[in-house]
């Protein structure tokens, strides 16, 4: 079964291998051909008729060459699968280490969140309006895991001026509290801007390290407690009043540094493996297109 937004194709395997058909349909030339035949205005509503797809002409290699291409790609896919398994193991390791480190904190190390902050805990701009090219950056939930620059919305200076209280400073911890709950980011030095209504700003006193705070909020224990604090059935939300009373750890600062550095090291390992995986996937896409379009020919002997 496929949804109404998909088309199921059953290839004649004596003519074309399934992975070759999928690869041909994903090449830039075919994608551009289909894009010129789409209908609908909104991006989420564009589509093309079955007839347009079935009328698409494909340059199908001989079966012997298809098999050689598939063999080469299978070897690349095997390497991709290895990277994915490594990433999965590292993520499990990181969760386990984080849980162990957080779980070892004594009860007397916890305090109401508001008592640990030097500025009022608040959310950001309710309606930031349309994009203003020379305006003030406004972070959305999707930006918390990014570089705080690429794709960030910008609002007018007049709207930003109405929300001076939620402007962001370097080291502020940003927590999503509406819709998607529990995403966390730490504002870098170069970010100068504001936040959206869906994000709470936590500006900690020097007794709390921002990177430690981020790691605690990402822990499974903290995520469960955040889920329990949610109100609303239509759209989940944590109120600022509840967040101010949220019990938060502030152990000795040296302990915080050790926990943050241990987790940062694991994150660096994960980032390195993810970057390697993304490069390999990009190589596969380029190789796939070159092989299928004849840009690179597969020798008769088995590739190694």
The token pair at 247 is: 């019990």
Q: How many residues are there in the chain?
A: 304
- Give the three-class secondary structure for 239: coil
pLDDT at 7: 78
Per-residue pLDDT in tens (0 to 9) along the chain, 304 residues: 656 677 788 888 888 888 888 888 877 788 888 777 776 655 555 666 677 777 788 888 888 888 888 888 889 999 999 999 999 999 999 999 999 999 999 999 999 999 999 999 999 999 999 999 999 999 999 999 999 999 999 999 999 999 999 999 999 999 999 999 999 999 999 999 999 999 999 999 999 999 999 999 999 999 999 999 998 767 889 999 999 999 999 999 999 999 999 999 999 999 999 999 999 998 888 887 777 766 666 655 544 4
Q: What is the spatial distance between Cα 211 and Cα 223, in angstroms, rounded to a whole number?
A: 16
Q: What is the spatial distance between Cα 288 and Cα 295, in angstroms, rounded to a whole number?
A: 10
pLDDT at 298: 60
The token pair at 7 is: 């088309």
- Which residues does 194 contact at the CB level (< 8 Å), separation at least 6? 124, 125, 136, 137, 138, 139, 155, 160, 163, 166, 167, 168
Structural domains of the chain, with CATH: 1-60 (no CATH), 70-105+253-304 (1.10.287), 113-250 (3.90.220.20)
* C-alpha closest to that of 124 among 144, 138, 145, 142: 138
Instruction: Tell me whether strands 199-202 and 122-123 are parallel, antiparallel or unpaired.
Output: antiparallel
The token pair at 126 is: 């309710």
Kindly provide the residue ranges of all beta strands, DSSP E only, lying in 188-303, ordered along the sequence. 194-195, 199-202, 247-249
CB 265 within 8 A of CB 58: no
């Amino acid at each position: 079964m496929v949804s109404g937004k998909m088309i199921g194709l059953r290839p004649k395997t004596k003519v074309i291998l399934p992975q070759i058909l999928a690869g041909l349909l994903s090449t830039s030339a075919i994608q551009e051909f289909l894009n010129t035949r789409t209908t609908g205005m909104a991006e989420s509503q564009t589509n093309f008729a079955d007839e347009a797809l079935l009328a698409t002409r494909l340059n199908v290699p001989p079966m012997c060459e298809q098999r050689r291409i598939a063999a080469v790609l299978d070897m690349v896919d095997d390497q991709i699968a290895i990277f994915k398994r490594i990433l999965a193991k590292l993520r499990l390791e990181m969760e386990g280490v984080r849980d162990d480190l957080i779980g070892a904190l004594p009860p007397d190390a916890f305090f109401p969140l508001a008592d640990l902050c030097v500025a009022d805990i608040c959310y950001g701009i309710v309606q930031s309006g349309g994009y203003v090219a020379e305006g003030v950056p406004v972070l959305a939930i999707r930006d918390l895991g990014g570089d705080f620059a690429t794709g960030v919305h910008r609002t007018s200076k007049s709207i930003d001026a109405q929300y001076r209280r939620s402007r962001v400073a370097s080291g502020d911890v940003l927590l999503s509290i509406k819709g998607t709950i529990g995403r966390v980011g730490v504002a870098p030095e170069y970010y100068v801007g504001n936040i959206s209504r869906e994000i709470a700003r936590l500006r900690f006193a020097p007794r709390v390290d921002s990177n430690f705070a981020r790691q605690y909020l990402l822990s499974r224990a903290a995520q469960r407690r955040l889920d329990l604090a949610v109100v609303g059935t239509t759209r989940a939300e944590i109120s600022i009043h509840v967040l101010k009373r949220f019990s938060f750890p502030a152990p000795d600062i040296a302990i915080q540094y050790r926990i943050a550095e241990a987790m940062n090291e694991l994150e660096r390992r994960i980032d390195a493996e993810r970057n390697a995986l993304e490069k390999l996937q990009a190589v596969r896409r380029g190789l796939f297109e070159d092989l299928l379009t004849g840009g690179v020919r597969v020798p008769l002997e088995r590739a190694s």
